[in-house]
Amino acid sequence: MDLKDLYQEIILDHGKNPRNLGKFENFNKDAKGHNPLCGDKVHVYLKVDENKKISDIKFEGHGCAISMASASIMTELMKDKDEKDVNELIEDFLKMIKDNPDLKSNLISEDDKTKLMSLSGVKKYPMRVKCATLPWHTLISAMTNKPGEVNTEKED
């Protein structure tokens, strides 16, 4: 195991200075994620327009570098994507974190893929996978208007 794989520069940067942090006025979807055992919290806000496109996305929350970086990178990549693409990216990311060696989707640029793959370091740290996946499951919840808080300590 190598800590450098887990705490890559991109992660440390996004962890320390998360992008799209905050809330905006006219969101029309949102969901909360909370891992009570470790205390990580994330609240995702979305503005989904009439064409089912995410026209704005932000998040509030606090937690470890992994969960904050994951939320930050996720919000960057999801902006201006439509529902179908959002779902494809979420599925691709969650499969990569669990089993797949790489991202399969061609929806994002090579640079963005590199950014997203920086989170793959958690694969070697099973206890930390839930930190990386919390914002993504929270995004699913917001998109599908699922009631209740998301908790990735209970599910993969």
Partner 1 sequence: MNIKDIKKEFPIFDNKVHNNDLVYLDSANSSQKPKVVVDRIYDFYTKEFSNVGRSVHYLAVAATNLYENTRVLVQKYINAKDPNEIVFTKGATEAINLVANTFGQKYLKEGDEILITELEHHSNYVPWYYLRKSKGVKINFADVDENGDISIESIEKKITTKTKILAITHLSNVTGAILPIKEIIQLAHSKNIPVLVDGCQGAPHLKLDMQDLDCDFYAISCHKMYGPTGLGVLYAKKKWLEELPPYQGGGGMIGEVKKEGITFGDLPNKYEAGTMATAQVIAFGESINFINKLGIEKIEEHERELTKYGEEILKKNNSVKLIGSPKNKGSVLSFTLDGVHPHDIATILDEDGVAIRAGHHCCQILHEKLGLAATARASLGVYNTKDDLDQLNSSINKCIKIFNS
In the range 117-136, which residues lie near partner 1 by CB under 8 A?
125, 127-128, 131
Q: Which is nearer to partner 1, 3 or 24 (CB)?
A: 3
Q: State in angstroms the smallest separation of the CB of 75 from partner 1.
A: 19
In the range 73-112, which residues lie near partner 1 by CB under 8 A?
none
Angle, CA 74 vertex, CA 94 and CA 57 arms, to 5°: 130
Contacts 24+ apart (CB under 8 A), 87-90: 87/143, 90/136, 90/139, 90/140
Running DSSP on this structure, what letter comes out for residue 79?
A: T
User: What is the rounded distance in angstroms from the CA atom of residue 57 to the CA atom of residue 76?
Assistant: 8
48, 65, 89, 119: which one binds partner 1 (CB under 8 A): 65
Classified as helix, coil or strand, 56 is strand
Q: What backbone phi and psi angles, to 5 degrees, belong to 15?
A: -65, -40
3-class SS shares of the chain: helix, strand, coil, % to 5: 50, 20, 35
* Binding flag, residue 150, partner 1 (CB under 8 A): no
23, 37, 80, 156: which one binds partner 1 (CB under 8 A): 37
Count of residues that bind partner 1 according to CB under 8 A: 20
Binding part of the chain for partner 1, among 32-40, 49-57, 82-90, 103-111 by CB under 8 A, reads 32-40
Binding part of the chain for partner 1, among 59-67, 71-79, 91-99, 112-120 by CB under 8 A, reads 59-67
* Binding flag, residue 41, partner 1 (CB under 8 A): yes
Q: State in angstroms the smallest separation of the CB of 133 from partner 1.
A: 14
User: What is the rounded distance in angstroms from the CA atom of residue 151 to the CA atom of residue 36?
Assistant: 8
